Amino acid sequence: MLFNMLVLPLVLVVAVWYLAIYLKWKKKVFDIMEKIPGQKWYPFIGTFRDYVTASRADVIYKFIENTKKYAPFYRSWNGNIPEIHVMKPDHIQVLLRNSTHNPKGPFYEYLLPWLGEGVLLSEGAKWFLQRKLLTPTFHFKILEGFTEIFGEKAKRLNSILAAKADGSYFNILPYVHVSTLETIMETSMGVPLRKITDKPLDYIQNVHEITEIAMWRYWQPWISDYIFRFLPVGRRHKNLLDELHAFSKKVVDYRKEHEKNNTLLKPKDIGEKKKRLAFIDLVLDAAENKNLLSDSDLQGLADTFVFAGFETTANTIGWILFMLGNHPQVQEKALQEVRSVLKGKEAPTTITELNELRYVDYVVKETLRLYPVVPFVTRTTTEDVEIDGYQIPAGAQAIVHIYGVHRDPDHYVDPEKFIPERFLPENAKARHPYSYIPFSAGPRNCLGMRFALLELRTIVASIVNKYKITSLHNPEEVKIFAHLIVRSQVGINVKLEKRETGC
């Protein structure tokens, strides 16, 4: 009797409350989104039914198949979270140019435990402050000071690759990853990599694994945070966080130890006659009052700068070498330009030389068109927005298909072909500004774009100058992974042959 009097009314109230929430969501979100073409929605899993049984290697291709079916504008559901997919420049422009839709989207929440609320993931006033502090550190004059480091690391990479230039094929990515990790450590943190770890490949593998887990979680929206903690993958995630944070803490501790005497990069460490300012020095100077950046902020900055600076660049270098190894005529044209500009030097070391490598720049840009740093970026709509005649409610996740817009035949003739001449000024000037966005666009575009392009030109030019590159696979044979960045499923396997003349 007491049960009926107390518990049943409570159950009824809770049921009515949930029903009211559901009906409100259905009217203001579900019914509006269902007017947009897309796959059938199912409770809990949304439109992810096709991906539940798909293998890790096939997920991206199932996704591409569905995209082709509903392109160029469609909706999907990540559980009960509505998603819109855009891949036309006009639609992308509506979302990315508007500072209103700045939040990155739910996917990036899976990276928060690792990277924290740094400039990559923060929102609102905190993001604005960090962006304001960081933007001056990427000034052209400051980047110019890093060209010697780029050249040093390129020559060091070439010397390491000499042992592999024996006519056999090998995966070049691990070597490039270590090189770009060394570069970003010295330019961003002002710390030689060897002072932090003697096993850089372990750190690199940890980064790959934790980003892989983030992608796995995105494709399993029905697994809650609470359940995830108790799964084997959740326990592995915790171990990875501990190891990655130990790495960045060691970086911060090293800086604090050496900051007092202003000798973060000593001549004996890097073979230089003077100390070089790192990004972190410039950030601290810009902050004026160092209380604006706590030790936790510095550690998050270290995690973000190092990850964003080495992983994306290394992967892109791999794709550039892959494309050059498949297009010997393009490689020969790049070689002739490099030899003409460097005049006997092994690698470019000045901003003037890098600016003269125009064809190499076109090769870099065309590779980024076909294999952009990230295949998609996401934003959360913070207010209702209209796209293609459809109303999109606030709170929807907008998925911008960079991989798709770069292959839009309306903007690129023979979009699957590798044609660096697309980026000659006369060919690029009339192109829609949002048809080529390898570093995203708008207020949250990539701060490190110019840094990355300079480093890419340096390393690619030095390798082309020293070695003839041949790829084991062609583009049709190499499948990609659905990952945070566009990765090959089989690595980047090339053959290097030392050139008879030149360096």
Say if residue 272's pLDDT is above 60.
Answer: no
Q: What domain range includes position 404?
A: 35-498
Residue 491 in domain: yes
- Please identify which residue in the block is written with the tokens 């810009």: 286
Residue 24 in domain: no
How long a stretch of residues is the chain?
A: 503
Residue 362 in domain: yes
Say if residue 261's pLDDT is above 70.
Answer: no
Residue 15 in domain: no
Buried b (16+ CB within 10 A) or exposed e, 203-236: bbebbebbbbbbbbbbbbbeeeeeebeeeeebee
Average pLDDT of the segment spanning 298-304: 82
**Domains held by the chain: number:** 1
Crossing angle (nearest 10°) for helices 328-342 and 295-326: 120
Give the model's pLDDT for residue 335.
97
Say if residue 3's pLDDT is above 60.
Answer: no
Residue 309 in domain: yes
Find the CATH number of the domain harbouring 147.
1.10.630.10
Confidence of residue 267 (pLDDT cuts 50, 70, 90): very low
Kindly report, residue by residue over 384-410, the tens digit of the pLDDT. 889 988 999 988 999 999 999 999 999
Kindly report, residue by residue over 7-46, the tens digit of the pLDDT. 677 777 777 777 777 677 778 888 889 999 999 988 888 8
Residue 168 in domain: yes
Crossing angle (nearest 10°) for helices 295-326 and 358-370: 100
Give the model's pLDDT for residue 425.
94
Burial classification of residue 53, based on how many CB atoms lie within 10 Å of its CB (0-12 exposed, 13-18 middle, 19 or more buried):
exposed
Confidence of residue 203 (pLDDT cuts 50, 70, 90): very high
Closest CA to 172 of 495, 501, 498, 497: 495
Give yes or no for a contact between 69 and 383, defined as CB atoms under 8 angstroms apart.
Answer: no
Say if residue 271's pLDDT is above 50.
Answer: no
Kindly report the average pLDDT of the chain as a whole number.
86
Give the model's pLDDT for residue 273.
41
128 or 147, higher pLDDT:
147
Closest CA to 320 of 276, 364, 351, 268: 364
- Please identify which residue in the block is written with the tokens 């049709």: 476
Residue 373 in domain: yes
Residue 154 in domain: yes
- Please identify which residue in the block is written with the tokens 């995203």: 440
Kindly report, residue by residue over 397-448, the tens digit of the pLDDT. 999 999 999 999 999 999 999 999 999 999 998 899 999 999 988 878 888 8
Whole-angstrom distance, CA of residue 469 vs CA of residue 496: 5
Q: Give the 3-state DSSP-derived string for 135-182, with helices as H, strands as E and coil as C.
A: HHHHCHHHHHCCHHHHHHHHHHHHHHHHHHCCCCEEECHHHHHHHHHH
The answer to whether the annotation marks 446 as part of a ligand binding site is yes
181 or 26, higher pLDDT:
181
| Strand-pair partners of 22 | none
Share of the chain above pLDDT 70, in %: 88
Share of the chain above pLDDT 90, in %: 52
Q: What's the pTM value of the predicted model, to 2 decimals?
A: 0.91
Which one-letter amino acid corresponds to residue 242? Answer: D
Q: Is the dihedral of CA 161, 164, 166, 170 positive or negative?
A: negative
339 or 266, higher pLDDT:
339
Say if residue 289's pLDDT is above 50.
Answer: yes
Say if residue 151's pLDDT is above 70.
Answer: yes
